Structure 1
Amino acid sequence: MGYIPVLLFCFFSMLNRVTATAIDIINTTQFIRDGDTIVSADGTYELGFFSPGNSKNRYLGIWYGKIPVQTVVWVANRETPLNDSLGVLKITNKGILILLDRSGSVIWSSNTARPARNPTAQLLESGNLVVKEEGDHNLENSLWQSFEHPTDTILPGMKLGRSRITGMDWSMTSWKSEDDPSRGTITCKLAPYGYPDMVVMEGSEVKYRSGLWDGLRFSGVPSTKPNPIYKYEFVFNEKEIFYRESLVDKSMHWRLVTRQNGDIASFTWIEKTQSWLLYETANTDNCDRYALCGANGFCDIQSSPVCDCLNGFAPKSPGDWDETDWSNGCVRRTPLNCSGDGFRKLAGVKMPETKSSWFSKTMNLEECRNTCLEKCNCTAYSNLDIRNGGSGCLLWFGDLVDIRVFAENEQEIYIRMAESELDIGDGARINKKSETKKRIIKSTVLSTGILFVGLALVLYAWMKKHQKNRQMSMEKSSNNMQRKEDLELPLFDFSNLACATNNFSIDNKLGEGGFGTVYKGTLADGREIAVKRLSKISRQEKTRSFLLDWPKRYNIINGIARGLLYLHQDSRLRVIHRDLKAGNILLDYELNPKISDFGLARSFGGNEIEANTNKVAGTYGYISPEYANYGLYSVKSDIFSFGVLVLEIVSGNKNRGFSHPDHHLNLLGHANMATFSSTLVK
């Protein structure tokens, strides 16, 4: 095998070797060996072989030619380094750049979509290495260009985005270390979902997002403004989506870099100090951390703590929230009911993430509002473009994630609220104001309360006596109402139930729910019953999953429907179950369904068809909107729960346990969104 290097040497000796003082272009009869470079016409950029930091490996790359500090902006073989200085770069007759090692093996190559006649490779003054037909100076006709394959650096004129025709991503990936240019863990790219948004990811985890483009800038980077150094543009059409910068003074050196620490930083070269100046960075403070305040929360760096819930929302986990763990975010205080909802304007913010979104470039804001209001799972809307008074329409579905406040931002979004929440407070900061007000009130009450302790002690005896009499009267009235409400419903004492279940034997156990265990029992007259024995400590229902064929699923759905029909129409009293869910449907050995657990059930007599309650009970995810919002229950409440149950049986997913990679909706919301999307397509 020793003759191979000799043959290679003889082969390349027949070609023209390029020298450092030569030209900016090579053809098929020329090659670049370690130690040689080609230089752009203005001398700004060089292409050749280098070793980064303390590494002994050799890489083919492009760096600044006029700067004493070697600054590499592009690397060809970042994943396949050479371990010696015998690498060679040449261009083939087909217009493909190939990098060969000492044995003649190709360790890196470009590609081309079409054959070439007289291909050449040229290093342009922009720093772009272009493979093209000889004499053709139109970049759109190029066979290949390094600008379409960024490494960790974006130069002026490069695109950061995606081709909608080829699917090619123009993204940046950090070096692994200062000594190793192979792909690191940090990537800056166009988000693969929703309306255009730039994200910085560490592996598969989002660490930072720029906020949506609002016509002037990315809404999460308000510092991006017209300036004397660079211009910027955002292009979004049927062919491509990209962000691009260009220098006002082309003699300057400017670069945008994805660094190993996760920062996206801009640098400019200062000739006087002979060093790079950090001009700006995307990650400026703690509020730039992705989703720091969780779903439906917002971050305000001027406040302490920095996180709060949007108006109309409250912490999902108050204990964690008080300990500055905001990851669980916020939930609505009052559920939406669709027909009675309204909107609240939230101004000066970074627009939230749009994993589940829809947009139109032609709608005005009023049409946008009406479209959102028509769809019960639409949670917010705004203009796409804030210029010239605003235009276009953007809808959000599901939770609103990664909002932060910017005093200087012009962007406005309109958040959907239940009708009862519309007149409470003003804007996003209302919760912080109200919390401050609460603290003042608490302090005042505490101080004033001490003055009244003496009076309270004097009045205690008198109040206790009258309260006892009043309580006895209320209990008597309540018992009378309860007896009326439970009229004609069968009653069993504990001893009969214990006997029927063989003293709640484990052999009679049918299942276990969140509030106790269900047992099979047989009454003295031979009737079979199911008995739930409530536990002292409630625990979450154990998760079960099973697969059934479609005929069995249909039989189960049909059986539940027949059971509801009996309760609502055929029984002596109309019975509203109020807690219809999968955990309360028992199946016998032949998979015939039985509706169980009537602990929350209420009966109607005569012509009664609906009623109100001040205490809403049931299982979240199955409760109908009118019951959750206003305490109004009727046969329609059970029908809503039945619909959710049918959706679970058909799909094989639980409503609240459902997850989708593109959004945070539950199963019901996902089904509504799918219906909405289908309607829009039609």
Structure 2
Amino acid sequence: MAMLTILLLSKLLSLFSKFAVATDTITQSEFLEDNTTLVSNNGTFELGFFTPGSSSSPNRYVGIWYKNIPIRTVVWVANRDNPIKDNSSKLSINTQGNLVLVNQNNTVIWSTNTTAKASLVVAQLLDSGNLVLRDEKDTNPENYLWQSFDYPSDTFLPGMKLGWDLKKGLNWFLTAWKNWDDPSPGDFTRSTLHTNNPEEVMWKGTTQYYRSGPWDGIGFSGIPSVSSDSNTNYTIVSNKDEFYITYSLIDKSLISRVVMNQTRYARQRLAWNIDSQTWRVSSELPTDFCDQYNICGAFGICVIGQAPACKCLDGFKPKSPRNWTQMSWNQGCVHNQTWSCRKKGRDGFNKFSNVKVPDTRRSWVNANMTLDECKNKCWENCSCTAYANSDIKGGGSGCAIWFSDLLDIRLMPNAGQDLYIRLAMSETEIITGIEGKNNKSQQEDFELPLFDLASIAHATNNFSNDNKLGEGGFGPVYKGILPYGQEVAVKRLSETSRQGLKEFKNEVMLCAELQHRNLVKVLGCCIQDDEKLLIYEYMANKSLDVFLFG
């Protein structure tokens, strides 16, 4: 009779234990078995044991997923490096106050690493998807003993942090699953560079793959979609103890997450579509060819829609012209002319607008300086190669300056910011003249696009005789076809021409002003290496006859 009573009590305790953990909390007297789960208070998230994807492997993991989404979507995995081989493991809180996963032999498979002490520890799954260890009587987030948000897997949820906690020695970063059936860490990661001007980067192993650009007060310099996302509020926190980015959803009914996808090597933002019952990709990084890290080399700029996409910044030329014409740009560009540091009239800056600013590992920031003070600070340091506002809100404030080579610049149409790059003064005079200041009279503004030499050489088949239309006193004229199909005529000033740089500059300025429907349209110019080129609209033979006489 006594034995029967003990067996009944044992069964009742087992049933009570299973019933008790069908909540959001485990106490030190309870445990989670393979066939039981925790569910967050509002029913959004669930924690339990699972086998990933369509795998036939017996591997089991402890993870967190969305409770009410029919496609099991795991957002965090505890033992991703150490799978369980059977279904007899248990998750519980040990006497030291750590959450531990043990197998049937009581071998520890995974454990939290907290050293903080509490009188009575509980593990709770929060509505945010965060699994926390805390004192039973203390719900203050600042006093959590441990939390899963400090150890992300491949998913960035609202309320999570990506960045650094220097006080606690934490680096919050994401690592993709190896594949959809294997949650062990892959080689595709997303982290935050801890520099004076922090930015987010993605890595393929130890190779940098993508860079967001620094936070400019509105968004990341290289991700215009961040500042234009009307459903998401981003917050940047930066002080002596920590730097991180976090976000929240304005519409709390939306289900959205950011995930590292190793199959595509992309960071994807996905939103759950209730009607189709599917996850839909709302944005993806990298977005295009120019998002590849430093694809154009030092002092190069990447321009989508142009062929080739890489060109040297105005005032620079390819370091290896041979490699550049073969579309191998990794050696980058160098100054067209030598310049004399801190010599008035021989050392200046040129403004480049709508750009993703360079890699910030070679930069310095002072949030209290004006742009003029920033310019002077850069000019005084011969290692300084560029400067810009560190914050572009409200007309701009603060100072960021760069040293040594400028890496990973791209054009950002209708986005990005202004960057001022150091050049020989003769170069800045030429470029300023072309871009728009005529000081002869009323300083009227005009615009004339600049073409890079490599794209014009490509358009004219490297100035082939077969493309030659004729030759005048100042040099030959070639027919060319731009990457998007437009036919052009390219006037190439010969080295023996009597027209020098000053005369060419005057002609450029005059052509820019004298645009008329009855004149051949000037499309742009190129001043690079020893070349001086004017690019005109191409007019086929007899075009004027047809226009005048029908």
Tell me the TM-score normalized by structure 1.
Answer: 0.62
Report which of the two has the higher share of strand: 2
Q: Does 1:262 align with 2:281?
A: no
Match 1:432 to one of 441, 451, 474: 451
Of stretches 241-250 and 36-45 in structure 1, the one that deviates more from structure 2 is: 241-250
Matched, 1:50 2:53: no
For residues 309 and 20 of structure 1, do their structure 2 counterparts lie closer, same or farther at Cα, with a shift above 3 Å needed?
farther
Of 372, 395, 412, 2:418 maps to: 412
1:222 is aligned to: 224
Partners of 1:56 and 1:230 in 2: how far apart?
Answer: 39
Match of 1:589 in 2: none
- Secondary structure, counterpart of 2:295 in structure 1: coil
Alpha-carbon spacing, 1:112–1:123, altered in 2? closer, same or farther (3 Å): same
Higher relative contact order (CA 8 A, sep 6+): 2
- Give how far 1:166 is off: 2.3
Deviation of 1:324 (Å)? 1.0
Q: Give the equivalent residue in structure 1 for 2:108.
A: 106
- Report the CA distance between 1:215 and its aligned residue: 0.6
Partner of 1:355, secondary structure, is helix
Pick aligned residue for 2:189 from 180, 187, 190:
187
Specify whether residues 434 and 49 from structure 1 end up closer, same or farther in structure 2 by C-alpha distance, changes over 3 A only: same
Instruction: Specify the alignment match of 2:71 in structure 1.
Output: 69
Q: CA deviation at 1:312?
A: 1.0
Structure-1 residue corresponding to 2:288: 285
User: 1:21, CA displacement in angstroms?
Assistant: 7.8
Task: Map residues 135-146 of structure 1 onto 2, 5 A cutoff.
Answer: 135-146=137-148
5+ residue gaps, structure 2, are 1-9, 436-446, 476-550
1:22 CA displacement:
2.1
Q: Which moved more, 1:377-386 or 1:157-166?
A: 157-166
- Give the distance between the partners of 1:158 and 1:272, measured in 2 at CA: 28
Structure 1 alignment gaps of length 5 or more: 1-9, 454-682
- The answer (yes or no) to whether the contact 2:164–2:194 under 8 Å persists in 1 is no
Question: Which letter does structure 2 place at the counterpart of 1:18?
Answer: K
Whole-Å separation in 1 of the counterparts to 2:170 and 2:334 = 38
- Equivalent residue number for residue 39 of structure 2: 39
**Cα distance change on mapping 1:315 and 1:116 into 2, 3 Å:** same
Secondary structure of 1:211's aligned partner: strand
- Look up the match of 1:330: 333
Residues 296/111 of structure 1: CA separation in 2 closer, same or farther (3 Å cut)? same
Alignment of structure 1 residues 383-398 onto 2, 5 Å = 383-398=389-404
**2: distance between equivalents of 1:13 and 1:433?**
79
Distance 2:98 2:407 in 1: 45
Report the CA distance shift for 1:20/1:216 in structure 2 as closer, same or farther (over 3 A): farther
State the shift of 1:227 in Å: 3.8
Which residue matches 2:494? none
More helix by share: 1
- Is 2:368 the partner of 1:365? no
Percent identity reads 44
1:521-580: CA deviations, max 9, x gaps?
xxxxxxxxxxxxxxxxxxxxxxxxxxxxxxxxxxxxxxxxxxxxxxxxxxxxxxxxxxxx
Residues 439-492 of structure 1, C-alpha deviations (whole Å, 9 max, x = no match):
789689943249999xxxxxxxxxxxxxxxxxxxxxxxxxxxxxxxxxxxxxxx
Q: 2:27 touches 2:122 (CA, 8 Å); kept in 1?
A: yes
Structure with the greater alpha carbon radius of gyration: 1
Alpha-carbon distance between aligned partners in 2 of 1:382 and 1:389, rounded to the nearest angstrom: 12
What secondary structure sits across from 1:95 in the alignment? coil
1:656 aligned partner: none
Q: 1:448 to 1:180 in 2, by over 3 A?
A: same
In the other structure, the counterpart of 1:303 is: 306
8 A contact 1:200–1:262 mirrored in 2: no
State the partner residue of 1:30.
30
Summarize the Cα distance change of 1:170–1:15 in structure 2 as closer, same or farther, 3 Å threshold.
farther
Match of 2:385 among 379, 386, 397: 379
> CA contact under 8 A between 1:16 and 1:31: conserved in structure 2?
no
2:30 and 2:125 map into 1 onto residues whose CA distance is 14
TM-score, length basis structure 2: 0.76
Verify the 8 A CA contact 1:309 1:431 in the aligned structure 2.
no
Residue 12 and residue 378 in structure 1: after superposition, are their counterparts in 2 closer, same or farther (change >3 A)?
farther
Which among 245, 248, 254 is matched to residue 246 of structure 1?
248
**Worse overlay, 201-210 or 242-251:** 242-251
Cα distance, 1:193 vs structure 2? 3.8
CA distance in 2, matches of 1:122, 1:238: 31
1:612-651 correspondence runs (5 A): none
Change (3 A) 1:275 1:413: same
The Cα shift of 1:245 comes to 1.3
CA-CA distance at 1:101 after TM superposition: 1.2
The one-letter code matched in structure 2 to 1:311 is D
Structure 2: which amino acid aligns with 1:199? Answer: V
Matches of 1:12 and 1:123, distance apart in 2: 25
Residues 82 and 375 of structure 1: CA distance in aligned 2, closer, same or farther (over 3 Å): same
Contact map agreement 1:94 1:119 (CA 8 A) in 2: no
**In 1, distance between residues paired with 2:19 and 2:404?**
61
- In the TM superposition, residue 35 of structure 1 has moved relative to its aligned partner by 1.1
Give the secondary-structure state (helix, strand or coil) at the position aligned to 2:426: helix
